[in-house]
């Protein structure tokens, strides 16, 4: 056996020796920085590793503290230990038994900014503060504006769709998107995580415009948890293609692609 093979074998036997328990080190993965809307909420993604036998949620004590002052607890299972400003506003939403230390802070305040760090205490075992992996939390007073996506042209009698989306940090209380028009049956909403502690709410408005919709303003408003809101507006231009087509079929077919479109519309209306 050469030296390299021996080394490799040695390494594997070491792994086999310690892995039935856990080879893990004291490591945490926490979001590096995140900007939170004042009055709203943030869910800080966090996961951690610790050496030794794996414990259940109730066998572990998860603590969040200010990176500027070790004794300033912003979350503790004993809430008398939490600093006054954060009392009743923080919650461990992660399951410690699954090594998930995700923290929720609601009613975010202007002076809530700061580095926040996770600490694990294993009763009868060791304690560890993951002070090299703290979350930098910033505050913004300006709500994110919803983004609108739509086709430039709408055609009378033909379905038309607009999407409105907004990014936020509060998956436990998603922002509501509301339209200046459209009933419930015309709107569908989707939620998704886009990583880095950010989430996106997307609302899709689908309707069939008529002649009265031409030049109408359509607004999408985002109402964030905590009461902040913002909105974006678009102006609808409805082309009266169908009417024109019946009146003047030949003359309206300047381009081949337009003709194809109109033929589809006819098929649709007739069936």
Ligand X SMILES: *[C@@H]1O[C@H](CO)[C@@H](O)[C@H](O)[C@H]1NC(C)=O
Binding region for ligand X (CB under 6 A) = 47, 93-94, 100, 102, 121, 126-127
Nearest distance from residue 86's CB to ligand X, in Å? 18
Phi and psi at residue 49, in whole multiples of 5°?
-130, 150
Q: How far is the CB of 230 from ligand X (least distance, A)?
A: 25
Q: Nearer Cβ to ligand X, position 93 or 234?
A: 93
| CB nearer to ligand X: pick between 101 and 228 | 101
In the numeric block, which tokens belong to residue 21?
Answer: 């328990």
Task: Count other C-beta atoms under 10 Å from residue 139's C-beta.
Answer: 18
Q: Residue 186's Cα: distance from chain center in Å?
A: 24
Whole-number minimum distance, CB 137 to ligand X, in Å? Answer: 17
Return the structure tokens found at 9: 């074998």
Q: Pick between residue 94 and residue 175 the one whose CB is nearest to ligand X.
A: 94
Secondary structure of residue 125 in the 3-state scheme: coil
* Burial zone of 253 (CB within 10 Å; 0-12 exposed, 13-18 middle, 19+ buried): middle
Closest approach of ligand X to the CB of residue 46, in Å: 8
Give the shortest CB-176-to-ligand X separation in angstroms: 20
Of the pair 102, 158, the CB lying nearest ligand X is at 102
H/E element, 241: helix 241-247
Cα–Cα distance measured from residue 216 to residue 231, given in angstroms and rounded to the nearest whole number: 16
User: CB-wise, 47 or 136, nearer to ligand X?
Assistant: 47
Q: What is the DSSP letter of 141?
A: S
């Amino acid at each position: 056996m050469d030296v390299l093979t021996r080394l490799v074998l040695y390494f594997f036997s070491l792994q086999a020796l310690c892995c039935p328990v856990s080879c893990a080190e004291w490591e945490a993965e926490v979001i590096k920085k995140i900007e939170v809307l004042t009055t709203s909420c943030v869910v800080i993604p966090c996961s951690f590793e610790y050496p030794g036998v794996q414990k259940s949620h109730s066998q572990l004590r998860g603590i969040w503290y200010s990176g500027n002052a070790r004794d300033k607890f912003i979350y503790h299972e004993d809430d008398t230990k939490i600093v006054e400003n954060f009392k009743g506003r923080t919650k461990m939403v992660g399951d410690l038994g699954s090594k998930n230390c995700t923290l929720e802070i609601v009613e975010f305040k202007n002076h809530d900014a700061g580095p926040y760090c996770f600490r694990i205490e294993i009763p009868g075992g060791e304690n560890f503060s993951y002070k090299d992996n703290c979350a930098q939390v910033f505050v913004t007073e300006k709500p994110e504006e919803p983004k609108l996506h739509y086709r430039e042209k709408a055609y009378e009698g033909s379905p038309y769709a607009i999407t409105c989306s907004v990014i936020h940090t509060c998956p436990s209380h998603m922002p509501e998107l509301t339209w200046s028009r459209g009933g419930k049956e015309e709107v569908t909403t989707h939620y998704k995580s886009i990583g880095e502690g950010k989430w996106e709410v997307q609302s899709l408005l689908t309707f069939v415009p008529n002649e009265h919709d031409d030049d109408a303003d359509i607004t999408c408003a985002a109402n964030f948890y905590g009461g902040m809101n913002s909105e974006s507006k678009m102006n609808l231009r409805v082309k009266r293609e169908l009417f024109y087509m019946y009146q003047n079929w030949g003359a309206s077919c300047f381009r081949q692609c337009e003709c194809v479109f109109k033929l589809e519309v006819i098929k649709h209306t007739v069936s």
